[in-house]
Amino acid sequence: MSDHYAVIGNPISQTKSPLIHGWYARSCGQTMRYTALEGPLGRFAETVDAFRADGGRGLNVTVPFKMEACAYATTLSERARLAGAVNALKFEGDEVLGENFDGMGLVRDVTHNLGFALRGKRVLLLGAGGAVRGALLPFIHEQPASLTLANRTLSKAVTLAAEVASHATVNACSYEALAGQQFDLVFNATSASLRGELPPVPATAFAPGCLAYELAYGKGLTPFLRLAQASGAGYLADGVGMLAEQAAEAFAWWRGTRPDTQTVIAQLTVPLV
């Protein structure tokens, strides 16, 4: 019987993970089975227990279970601990290892696929939720010249910046305080684009030729990307590369070999029009 992996979430019908991991398994010559698992709300631990009892080897975790997965794990990576969220679990006997590959996937997409260095650059992250928490340590390790968090609720950004103060100085501010500042890379990690809305980032925040990155994927030219385009951003991207890269990190963690991501990215890319 082949090793069984799955993605757990609720809802889960929209997931691309079985498609992605199927491609990765074939390209790497790995014999494995990967399915989608809809976890009943309030029964995450029970559902995972049953998956493990049936021989499951690992799980990707998506909304709304990332924080529950963090609590379920017996051992957390530093990234997962800081994020307070887990997007991948690995089962080794009684031990449950928890990881968060979202930030690693994002950095890999930006630096390797898109060719934008973070080192020495002015970086702006919009939002202070789970996606930003997962990205902070990987971003800090790239040594940007400055790293700024902007959020509607300033206190959330301030709290998050304080949590990583031992690693680096992270600036926290309101959207209004961005006036007069410019950035080389701007990341929209808010949920605004999922609702077809624009986060209140000033047009002047986009330095000429900058990268504007929308963490949501498959939405085309979102209001955030339209604003960036009109403001002189040199390159626009959405989160499809991040999706493929974080999946590749989990696959490598589970199987010991890292797949090439380019075919997956090409297959899943939606034109930004």
Q: Which residues are catalytic?
A: 66
Instruction: Give the pairing of strands 122-126 and 183-188.
Output: parallel
> Are 190 and 142 within 8 A, CB to CB?
no
> Are 251 and 259 within 8 A, CB to CB?
yes
Write down how long the chain is: 273
Q: Taking Cα atoms as reference points, which of 222, 221, 228 lies closest to residue 205?
A: 228
CA distance 10 to 13: 8
Q: Taking Cα atoms as reference points, which of 126, 110, 272 lies closest to residue 188?
A: 126
DSSP 191-240: SGGGGT------GGGEEEEEEEEESS-S--S-HHHHHHHHTT-SEEEETH
Intra-chain end-to-end CA distance of the chain, in Å: 45
